[in-house]
Amino acid sequence: MTDRLSESGEPIKPVYGPDDLPPDLAERLGKPGSYPFTRGVYPNMYTGRPWTTRQYAGFGTAKESNERYKDLVAAGAGGLSVAFDLPTQMGYDSDDPVASGEIGKVGVAIDSLEDMRILFDGIPLDKVSTSMTINAPASVLLLLYQLTAEQQGVEGPKLTGTLQNDVLKEYIARGTYIYPPRPSLRMVSDIFAYCQDEMPRWNTISISGYHMAEAGATPAQEIAFTLANGVAYVEAAMKAGLHVDDFAPRLSFFFVARTTFLEEVAKFRAARRIWAKIMRERFGAENPKSLMLRFHTQTAGVQLTAQQPEVNLIRVAVQALGAVLGGTQSLHTNSYDEAIALPTVKAATLAVRTQQVLAYETDVTSTVDPFAGSYAVESMTDAVERQAIDLINMVEDRGGAVSAIEQGFQKGEIERSAYKVACEIEDGSRTVVGVNQFRSESEEHYVPLRVNPLIEAEQRERLSRLRAGRDNAAVDQALKDLRDAAAGSDNVMFPMRDALRSLATVGEVCHALRDVWGVHVPNDAF
């Protein structure tokens, strides 16, 4: 009988037994909520309360997205997750020529404090946890959120949520970077320091493997390159004078959940164990919260198909179950129609219902880490851990995450893995239901959600009125103060907040930093 290979290339045995378990299994497992956190970061996990049901949403204008958020909250979503359009992600205003044709397409268009206020109108920010998927201009959107909350009468210490703020993975897999890596790391450190006093309950970064996985990374590559980036962020913060136990408890992570269920469970357990060891042994962290790898999971968008889209409901349910059994802290379930267009309200509601069935109709919340001691899962956890540690060491041998990025190492490794998967789908050795096997000749007609193209003109008009009605001399002075801080060593968050409060736009703030820091130009070797 031939062993099947896992996504990371390790043999999966047809039968596992006691000989596959390490002799020090009890030590490697520990107890739930205790070092090395293999079995979960909290002692009671979901037996106390389920994971946070979080839905990623945003499209068109701030008003349209606000209506969708209210629908999701009414459907039972426990947290919001904001998708921003491409111009916002790249630090451009909606009236910039570069932004033409992309306004509101893959997320909501946010140009100013006025837009952010509309986006969260009627949503109590002291009661709702918000995640924002934004990276290069993360500081700008975080401050707009804080200023919006202030207008609601909610002070920073009451705000809870997560800022993705993981720019290093943009150079590896996603591409929505602005500045070169080193000033971008300085910006991340400034956010850490700012939130320590201003927004102490806020998760200041979500170090993300999800996008690497979507680009083709194996499970071992996903956690290895993500944790290597995490090391770089910790080093940058400590170099800036922060003590590890002052900021590390607010670090969080973001991973994918694929349909390869058993390996995904093993991946999450291995990631917790590796991170705990890194933080204790390399950085000398003493606070147990500094050692915990807390993470959000999103089901695998790249595995959804436009063919027979209803089959995606089954894929998403399996992926979500893997995330839950792997011990995620929050979860986004993709909508079945995302391979075709922006999700409809019906599809988004079904995605929330998927999580609710898992949480309230199954018994997965009855016991902590039900796979602990499993011959197969423990062996696979060890295998993923070994591979990931080898890859982390390869990154270190190249001078760390930033230097390895500049050399194109992580990107090259992921591209090779992606090419292998594409070839397997093409030659039929990897089955994708409805695509290369079990196809249907008659596909049901699907009516996708479309973004109104008129919103581009609407956003431009809103910007024109904003610029005409504000104190432009105050904006110019605030932007000058921001450039001066960026050229020196002061924390840029404070002058940036002043600029945004005076109604400077997202693009104007990002251009001020471009003037000082420049823009990243990819290495041709990539």
* pLDDT value of position 522: 81
Q: In whole angstroms, what separates CA 413 from the centre of its chain?
A: 21
Q: For each of the chain's 526 residues, which pLDDT tens digit applies?
A: 457 899 999 999 999 999 999 999 999 999 999 999 999 999 999 999 999 998 888 888 999 999 989 988 888 877 788 999 999 999 999 999 999 999 999 899 999 999 999 999 999 999 889 999 999 999 999 999 999 999 999 999 999 999 999 999 999 998 999 999 999 999 999 999 999 999 999 999 999 999 999 999 999 999 999 999 999 999 999 999 999 999 999 999 999 999 999 999 999 999 999 999 999 999 999 999 999 999 999 999 999 999 999 999 999 999 999 999 999 999 999 999 999 988 888 999 999 999 999 999 999 999 999 999 999 999 999 999 999 999 999 999 999 999 999 999 999 999 999 999 999 999 999 999 999 999 987 766 777 777 788 889 999 999 999 999 999 999 999 999 999 999 999 999 999 999 999 999 999 999 999 999 999 988 754 3
Q: Residue by residue, what is the 3-state secondary structure of 94-155?
A: CCCHHHCCCCCCCCECCCCHHHHHHHCCCCCCCCCEEEEECCCCHHHHHHHHHHHHHHCCCC
Q: Which residues pair with 253 in a beta bridge?
A: 207, 295
Cβ atoms of residues 251 and 203 within 8 Å: yes
The Cα–Cα gap between 483 and 462 comes to: 26
The Cα–Cα gap between 57 and 47 comes to: 28
Cβ atoms of residues 257 and 320 within 8 Å: yes
The Cα–Cα gap between 56 and 191 comes to: 23
* pLDDT value of position 524: 52
Rg of the Cα atoms in the chain: 23
Pairing of strands 4-5, 11-12: antiparallel
Cis peptide before 36 (omega within 30 of 0): yes
Instruction: Convert 95-127 to b/e letters by CB count within 10 Å (16 or more is b).
Output: bbeebeebbbbbbbbbbbbbbbbbbbeebebee
DSSP secondary structure string for all residues of 430-465: S--BTTTBS--SSPPP---B---TTHHHHHHHHHHH
The Cα–Cα gap between 378 and 397 comes to: 29
Pairing of strands 11-12, 52-57: unpaired
The Cα–Cα gap between 210 and 455 comes to: 30
Closest CA to 311 of 340, 344, 332: 340
Domains of the chain, residue spans? 4-357+376-427, 455-517
Phi, psi values for residue 295, rounded to 5° = -145, 150
Considering only the top CATH level, what class is 4-357+376-427?
Answer: alpha beta
Per-residue CA distances from 276 to 418, 479, 480 (Å): 29, 41, 42
* Helical packing angle, 345-361 and 62-75, nearest 10°: 30
Phi, psi values for residue 296, rounded to 5° = -100, 150
Cβ atoms of residues 101 and 86 within 8 Å: no
* pLDDT value of position 74: 86
Phi, psi values for residue 342, rounded to 5° = -60, 140
Q: Residue by residue, what is the 3-state secondary structure of 491-502?
A: CCHHHHHHHHHC
Q: In whole angstroms, what separates CA 232 from the centre of its chain?
A: 17
* pLDDT value of position 2: 57
* pLDDT value of position 526: 37
